[in-house]
């Protein structure tokens, strides 16, 4: 559930310590961020403040929520 979400930098740290951060997981996270940005761009919005701390990860099933769009235009 989304109650279990954690910011992307903390998730990466946890996964690296546990030996679970792989290229596959990194690419999946990047693809989800790109998909979220593409959805914004299709609606003529620009996020304006992309940073890792604005990406929240839901660990299981893996999902990503992009927040911090207060600077959208």
pTM summary value: 0.78
The number of beta carbons lying within 10 Å of the beta carbon of residue 47 is 20
List pLDDT tens digits, range 26-73. Answer: 998 999 889 988 998 899 888 888 888 888 988 877 888 888 766 565
Q: What pLDDT shows up at residue 72?
A: 60
Residue with the two structure tokens 């609606």:
43
Cα separation, 33 vs 25, in Å, equals 12
């Amino acid at each position: 559930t989304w109650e279990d979400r954690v910011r992307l930098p903390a998730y990466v740290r946890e996964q690296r310590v546990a030996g679970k951060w792989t290229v596959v997981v990194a690419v999946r996270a990047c693809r989800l961020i790109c998909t979220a940005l593409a959805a914004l761009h299709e609606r003529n919005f620009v996020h304006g403040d992309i940073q890792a701390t604005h990406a929240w990860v839901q660990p299981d099933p893996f999902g990503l929520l992009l927040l911090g769009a207060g600077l959208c235009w």
